[in-house]
Structure 1
Amino acid sequence: MSFENLSRDQIQTLLDEQRAHYRELQDSGLKLDLTRGKPSPEQLDLSLPLLALPGDDFTDSHGTDTRNYGGLNGLPELREIFAPILQVPLEQIVAGDNASLAMMHDNLVFSLLHGTVDSPRPWVAEESVKFICPVPGYDRHFALTEEYGIEMIPVDLLADGPDMNAVRALVEDPTVKGMWLVPTYGNPSGAVVSEAVAAELAGLETAAPDFRIFWDNAYAVHHLTDEQTKTADIIGLCAASDHPHRAITFASTSKITFAGSGVCFLASSPDNVAWYLKHLGKRTIGPDKVNQLRHARFLQDTEGVMALMTRHRQILAPKFEQVVTILRERLASYAVAEWTEPKGGYFVSLDVVDGTASRVIELAREAGVAMTPAGAAFPYGHDPRDRNIRIAPSYPSSAELATAIEVLATCVLLAAAEQSLA
């Protein structure tokens, strides 16, 4: 039933059938939102005990009253819990407030204004600053980079990491100062950077002496199957390759506990951590240590994090299976789309017929289903093939999700048929 094997009349019949189904969906008054990877209320409920913590004892393991000023690098007991996940000693970790994006922002701005520990000059003094952006990728990375006038250069994100042929060529340019990368269960493709690719990134000879990898390890423990993928130790690999300051790892509890009031982390070389704290100390006196203390007491240890994530998986995995099942049933036989079947993370990446993603998003919106804009997973919001769509299954209920994916599949077929008959 591939479109390539259908006559024009058969495609017209299919278009008429899908239009009729689409009108039924429109008439049902849907109002569904698949725009962002937000934890569902059921997931947030898993961390409700946080709200009763830390109780009437506000002192940390060193006897510090967490209600007071100070402690710029965060509570040691919380950093100790996440040290095995971030694969560095707790001394090389900074625990902050709720948003790792804020730490990424600060690192970018501090580098622009002051230069890094191995920069010859502040980045703003360079002729230009460029970042490598594997695609499809995280739209907030790209928005942040664009905000500060950093030129973004897309490279393909393959199943085992960025296209290293492209990366090797690009880093010969001294104005290429860094790259974004989600190493495990990438947003939105679910790609995992292999040990071999991570080692090559660590060992690259770059024209810029201060080249940085912003390693956004947002989904390190967000598994959807029994296969619990381990993230490559990029900080250790960089140190072993004589580029100790190259990698800065970011992470958070945003999709572990409460998305709006979690804790974020930065990990890097001792010199990078000292550099970050030096500049951070001008912006803040310290993080929300009470929140950090309640997280430490709630999670207790690294095993406690893993146990909580198992409960998240029990809620999330059936939703991802539901998405893939509906897409397969509705679209597979027509060969008009391809999609990922991730083993972790928060998204399914859907590629539709070239030139139709924007139309699919438009049709879905008119049927009452909000999706992330087409092109969002590319720098400047421009997908040159207009084919990629990010699906965020986490927030809706199972029934709402099934309806939303049914709408989406119908829109994919409609857009494909319209283009074929145009």
Structure 2
Amino acid sequence: MTIEASTGALERARKAYGELVARGLSLDLTRGKPAPEQLGLSDALLALPGTGRYRAADGSDVRNYGNLRGLRELREIFAGPLQVPADQLLAAGNSSLELMHDCLVHALLGVVPGAESRWADQERIAFLCPVPGYDRHFFLCERFGIEMIPVPMTDDGPDMDEVERLAAADPAVKGIWCVPKYSNPSGVCFSDETTARLAAMPTAAPDFRIFWDNAYAVHHLTDEPVEIADLLAACAAAGNPDRALVFGSTSKITTAGSGVAFFGASEANLDWLLAKNAKRSIGPDKVNQLRHAMFLRDEEGVRAHMERQRALLQPKFDAVARILEAELGGTGLAAWTSPKGGYFVTLDVPEGCAKEVVRRAAEAGIVLTPAGATHPYGNDPRDATIRLAPSYPSLEELEQAVEGLAVCVRLVGEERRNGER
């Protein structure tokens, strides 16, 4: 681009940004929440289980105490999607993040199977964190003083050469965070080879754990759902049956604030968690579990329900891709993902520009997830990655927000080209 052309592009970008600010928008793309229309697909849950219908399949009264494992009929529905046999799956409260939190706390204050001591008694504890990644995983590590070691993501999952090197070299490395299908925020799906290497790799820590957060197991956006390898089975086959801790929930399937969370693992890990949970609870909300089992019915019912979810979500993801291509395609100022499922789009802008793009967008009334949230400690060393959450706004609001975001990217990018940043 000539100096004259570059200067002209900057002036046009400034004019467009001024017009954007003058519109006085108030739009929010910060978190991947289901839209009201998505939540409405599960309104029938609120009428269940109904008067007198309070017996589980085993005849137990769901209104009473007990059954820390959760209702078997619901565990059987999600055994397939989560790739965990029903006998090795727990149905708990509404939050899988809460289960991850508890597993970390119990590992710090207790002794996990295969450990020599409590994690809290060891001088240093570290987790491998594929980046870009899920900020709430990073918040948990920060909360408990667990060191985070970034590992680059590839198109097949985390860079396994680096993961294997770090896990084998350092006994303080106790685990790795994984969102294996339609990963948050990149949409990456782990290859079978990646899963096999995670299951079989040597680790310096005998109590190494894979926190397998399969949050988007059934959240497809195309006619060709991606299937991933069964980590729990791979770990057992590799002689590391206790390595995998599998998490999932119905939070983005039915009702986000009152869903059901799941935990899958080896028998040794199940016994460990159940023994700890018995001290903090006399059983989960089995009434809610029963209403979910009645509403979803079976695995086919889950698939049908998620097709209705997809009908609401896919047009929004299509709109993001269409607008970004129309406004930024060919400019060299941005690259973005086209996920086949999940809840997020990752936007990469020129290095050193993400924070400024987010700031300019906020000034124009478009609130984005803070730049850096996709990395441990909120620090993206390249300052280039922005996470977009298209699910919650209406389609019209989303289109306005992405068009406005593109204006901000052009402005900041042209400022960089002209040496002003």
1:124 aligns with 2:114: no
Partner of 1:90: 86
Distance in structure 2 (CA, Å) of the matches to 1:48 and 1:287: 22
Partner of 1:184: 181
Distance in structure 2 (CA, Å) of the matches to 1:407 and 1:115: 51
| Cα deviations by residue, 1:220-264 (Å, 9 ceiling, x for unpaired) | 100000111112200000000000000000000000000111000
For 1:42-53, list aligned pairs within 5 A: 42-53=37-48
Q: Which amino acid aligns with 1:266?
A: F
> Any conservation in 1 of the 2:151–2:159 contact (CA below 8 Å)?
yes
Secondary structure of 1:333's partner?
coil
Distance in structure 2 (CA, Å) of the matches to 1:416 and 1:25: 17
1:208 aligns with 2:224: no
| CA positional deviation for 1:24 | 1.7
Partner of 1:305: 302
1:65 aligns with 2:76: no
Partner of 1:418: 415
Q: Which amino acid aligns with 1:183?
A: P
Q: Which amino acid aligns with 2:229?
A: A
Partner of 2:405: 408
> Any conservation in 2 of the 1:32–1:400 contact (CA below 8 Å)?
yes
Distance in structure 2 (CA, Å) of the matches to 1:383 and 1:364: 19
1:279 aligns with 2:281: no
Secondary structure of 1:334's partner?
coil
Distance in structure 2 (CA, Å) of the matches to 1:141 and 1:47: 28
| Cα deviations by residue, 1:273-295 (Å, 9 ceiling, x for unpaired) | 11101001111111111111100
Partner of 2:172: 175
Q: Which amino acid aligns with 2:161?
A: N
> Any conservation in 1 of the 2:128–2:163 contact (CA below 8 Å)?
yes
For 1:354-373, list aligned pairs within 5 A: 354-373=351-370
Distance in structure 2 (CA, Å) of the matches to 1:37 and 1:92: 29
> Any conservation in 2 of the 1:220–1:231 contact (CA below 8 Å)?
no
> Any conservation in 1 of the 2:221–2:340 contact (CA below 8 Å)?
yes
Distance in structure 2 (CA, Å) of the matches to 1:326 and 1:272: 47
Which one of the candidate residues 44, 50, 58 is aligned to 1:55? Answer: 50
| Cα deviations by residue, 1:371-394 (Å, 9 ceiling, x for unpaired) | 000000000000000000000000
For 1:181-330, list aligned pairs within 5 A: 181-330=178-327
Secondary structure of 2:19's partner?
helix
Q: Which amino acid aligns with 1:49?
A: A
Distance in structure 1 (CA, Å) of the matches to 2:285 and 2:190: 33
Secondary structure of 1:256's partner?
coil
Secondary structure of 1:346's partner?
coil
Aligned length: 417
1:144 aligns with 2:140: yes
Distance in structure 1 (CA, Å) of the matches to 2:26 and 2:162: 42
Q: Which amino acid aligns with 2:141?
A: T
> Any conservation in 1 of the 2:316–2:398 contact (CA below 8 Å)?
yes
> Any conservation in 1 of the 2:354–2:383 contact (CA below 8 Å)?
yes
TM-score by length of 1: 0.98
Partner of 1:23: 18
> Any conservation in 1 of the 2:13–2:414 contact (CA below 8 Å)?
no
Partner of 1:3: none
TM-score by length of 2: 0.98
1:158 aligns with 2:141: no
| CA positional deviation for 1:179 | 0.4
| Cα deviations by residue, 1:184-208 (Å, 9 ceiling, x for unpaired) | 0000000011111100110001110
Partner of 2:389: 392
